[in-house]
Amino acid sequence: MFDFKRILRAWRAEGLISRMYNEFEEMLDIAAEMLDRARSTLSGEMSPESLWDLMRARDKEINRTQRLIRRQLVEFLTVNEGVDIPACLILMSIVKDAERLGDYASYLFKSAYICRDAAKTEGFAEEIDRLWSEVASMMAEGRKALHESDEELARSVMERENPIKDGCDAMLQKAAGSHVAPERIVVVTLISRYLRRLAGHTANIASSVVNPVERLDYKPKD
């Protein structure tokens, strides 16, 4: 039987694995911060120029951390015998999802250069606000589920993925038939796609709490 608590104990044990896990959680925190700042630009509250340097630095930090964790994992597995291999493999997998969370938050931020208040577009603003809040909440709960090895919460996070994806797809269909200014529709379309991917990668991370290595990114079996 898969035992995530054992995996978590391995991650939190003293030494390199523990440091790598802490670095992974920092990646999740940075991605959440980036998503919040992207929201402030697309709602017209802040200009993208005022946040460019910070967002670029955060994106680079996530990328550097991902590469560092991967390199450390390979070196750790190479020179140590009797280590918890599943714990290392799971961390190797979900660190990529954390990196993608940062990427999509960055893409959302950059789309503000096309239309700075696209999230306020008439006919779409309410749905964008709802889906964005859902994704942000999902990411926060996914991190909590992982940190606390809470299987019930992790399953709940995974169950939120499909409704968010359905909402994003519906918004895309609506955009296809809209007569709103082209630059606004372009960004509304990007928002629908990027929020959808953020939900997917968050569900992948949550899957590590309930699934063994071979079923990462899949729905848990009953």
Pick the range with the lowest mean pLDDT from 20-29, 46-55, 117-126. Answer: 20-29
Average pLDDT over residues 137-154: 94
Q: 42: closest CA among 196, 184, 197, 193?
A: 184
pTM: 0.90
Mean pLDDT across the chain, nearest whole number? Answer: 89
Dihedral angle at the C-alpha atoms of 207, 210, 213, 216, nearest 10 degrees? -20
Torsion on CA atoms 121, 124, 125, 129, rounded to nearest 10 = -140
Helix ranges, 80-181 (H): 85-111, 125-147, 151-159, 161-176
Domains and CATH numbers, the chain: 4-215 (1.20.58.220)
Task: Check residue 8 and give its pLDDT.
Answer: 60
How far apart are alpha carbons 61 and 78 in whole angstroms?
26
What are the Cα distances from residue 138, in Å, to 35, 57, 120, 158, 209? 12, 24, 22, 9, 15
Q: What's the CA gap between 221 and 210, in Å, rounded?
A: 9
Lowest mean pLDDT, pick from 77-81, 96-100, 116-120? 77-81
Please, which pLDDT band fits residue 112 given cuts at 50, 70 and 90? very high
Contact call for residues 210 and 146 (beta carbons, < 8 A):
no
The model's pLDDT over 40-89, given as tens digits with 9 standing for 90+, comes to 999 999 999 999 999 999 999 999 999 998 988 887 777 766 666 777 88
pLDDT value at residue 219: 66
